[in-house]
Structure 1
Amino acid sequence: MSKKHNKAQKLIDSSKKYPLDEAIKLLKKTSYARFDETVEIHFNLQETGLKGEVSLPHGIGKELRVVVADDKVLDKIEQGTIDFDVLIASPSFMPRLVKFAKVLGPKGLMPNPKTGTISDKPEEAAKKFKGGALRYKSEAKYPLLHQAVGKLSFADKNLIENIESLMNAVGVKNIKNAYLSATMSPSIQLSIVGSS
């Protein structure tokens, strides 16, 4: 570990669980990177297989590239160009996407009703995703969930609102413990009211 990381680690009491507002202030204080770090939250959950969708009020600081499947998009995929983060399709368009399942599936881009990317109204679904909706999913074999919740440059209030939105979507009762970190910072354990 670097000297800067060790110095930052000394500012954090690893035996303490910090309230969310205090943890965010401490996270900003221990940041030493020269770029706008991504703030992440890590949950130890009660069980595996937890997934869902949440709309963070302030986004995560990254603009999602959302497209609705059409002939133009299919041509691009066929040529090997994937210039989107979310692909939305109508149920009637799905048979035409099947031949691209081996390309889109492993990247998590194949439209799926469980993730809300297959919709009778694809334009409305696209607006929802562009508006800050994101999918979360725990690890397959372990009850862990890692999710970006914003950038270190966000106002404390905005980070708190994003984190609380995610916690409410996951369900506080499903969270054993939570840790907050930035791209290059030590993690800070959070005290969560109502968790088991």
Structure 2
Amino acid sequence: MRGIRINHLIFVSHKIMGKVKPRILGLEDVEKKQKQEQKQKASEKKLNKQKKSPVGVGLDRPVSVGRDQSVSIEHAQPMSDTAPKKEKKQPTKKKTVRRRGEKYQKVKQMVDKNKRYSLKEASALIKKLKTAKFDEAVELHLNVEKVGLKGEIDLPYSTGKIIKVAVVDDALLAKIEAGKLDFDILVSHPSFMPKLARFAKILGPKGLMPNPKNGTISTTPEEVVKKFAKGVLRWKTEPKFPLIHQMIGRVSLSEKQIEENAAAFLSAVGKQKIQKVVIKLTMSPGIKIDLEKLG
């Protein structure tokens, strides 16, 4: 080993494994710091390798990465390949409040919503509730005891509604096949029912399929047509709710005619089966009927 003194620094050269490595004496602190930095870099490198390597689920032990450092692996979970998708928020629809016109608000004040009227009182009042320019329909709306009620009635006075009644023949079958259903009631002779059966899916949902229960299958279909042409009404509850909605005339009828038509219809349904009755025009508020005053 040889030493050379230059400006108060001593360079010492010593031979290590056949190589001459110069060393500066007097700077031991610098050398220690360099060694610590090298160790720190080495430990960081090992730590990075440990992070990149796959980790088993359920491990709970420290992994040594250096003299003074360790990493604890606790119940690592496998990473998902796909990030969770954000759900799109659907725009909420604003509820629109229906506002009635001035004419409706005016006639509404004429009806006492807390009162139950007799048929005579209601028939007189309903004539005053007309606001539309056309001949409004007089309607009865009933809450009944159960679903499935139905029947027929021949009202004392015409409802003003034109009912189209058709009789099944070969020409009509061709129209039905083409999708033309320009009738309200269909009457058939028993001999045509086998031919009509293939249209059951078209006529059935619309309530147009001839049925012996409602009298639309007859050996004398012409007589049935005359009966319905006079204004015989067929009524029934809604399919899933115990409600009946029926037109019984027009506002152009007299008070007495409206009263008699309403009384006849309510009698056909049966007072004991009715829970609530409201009479109204097409464009008017409803008038509650007193069931106790029904005949």
Q: Which of residues 127, 130, 137 is equivalent to 2:236?
A: 137
Aligned residue in 2 for 1:80: 179
What is the CA distance between 1:172 and its match in structure 2?
1.1
Q: Match for 2:259: what amino acid?
A: I
Output the amino acid matched with 1:26.
L
2:268 equivalent to 1:177 = no
> Which residue pairs with 1:92 in the alignment?
191
The partner residue of 1:167 within 263, 266, 281 is 266
Q: SS state of the match for residue 169, structure 1? A: helix
**Superposition CA RMSD, Å:** 1.4
| Higher Cα radius of gyration | 2
SS in 2 for 1:157: helix
Are 1:108 and 2:239 matched, yes or no?
no
Mapped partners of 2:156, 2:223: distance in 1 = 18
Q: Please say if residues 173 and 194 of structure 1, whose CA atoms lie closer than 8 Å, have aligned partners that are also in contact.
A: no
Separation of aligned partners in 1, 2:236 and 2:201: 21
* Contact 1:4–1:32 (Cα < 8 Å) also in 2: yes
How far does residue 43 in structure 1 lie from its aligned partner after superposition?
0.9
1:140 Cα deviation (Å)?
2.2
Counterpart selection for 1:151 from 219, 239, 250: 250
State the partner residue of 1:13. Answer: 112
Counterpart of 2:160 in structure 1 is 61
Higher helix share: 1
Name the aligned partner's letter for residue 227 of structure 2: K
| Aligned residues between the structures | 195
List alignment gaps of at least 5 residues for structure 1. Answer: none
Q: CA deviation at 1:29?
A: 0.8
- What residue identity is the alignment partner of 1:40? E
Report the 3-state secondary structure (helix = DSSP H, G, I; strand = E; otherwise coil) of the residue aligned with 1:42: strand
* Unaligned segments of structure 2, at least 5 residues: 1-99
Q: 1:47 to 1:194 in 2, by over 3 A?
A: farther
Q: What is the deviation of 1:194?
A: 6.6
Shift of 1:170: 0.4
8 Å Cα contact 1:51/1:136 also seen in 2: yes
Verify: 1:122 aligned to 2:214, yes or no.
Answer: no
Whether 1:187 and 2:286 are equivalent positions in the alignment is yes
**Distance across 1 between alignment mates of 2:263 and 2:171:** 39
Which residue in 1 is equivalent to 2:91? none
Aligned to 1:41: 140
Q: Counterpart of 1:102 in 2: which secondary structure?
A: helix
1:7-40 CA distances to partner (integer Å, 9 max, x unpaired)? Answer: 1111100111111121122111121111100110
- SS where residue 16 of structure 1 aligns? coil
Distance 2:112 2:244 in 1: 23
* Cα drift, residue 68 of structure 1: 1.1
Which structure is richer in relative contact order (CA contacts within 8 A, separation 6 or more)?
A: 1
Aligned counterparts of 1:157 and 1:127: Cα–Cα separation in 2: 26
Q: Percent identity?
A: 49
**After TM superposition, where is structure 1 displaced by more than 2 Å over at least 4 residues in a row?**
192-195
Q: Deviations over 1:44-87 (max 9, x none)?
A: 11222111111112121111111111112112212222221110
CA shift for structure 1 position 114:
2.1
CA distance in 1, matches of 2:175, 2:240: 35
CA distance in 1, matches of 2:258, 2:219: 33
Q: Aligned to 1:145, what secondary structure does the other structure show?
A: strand
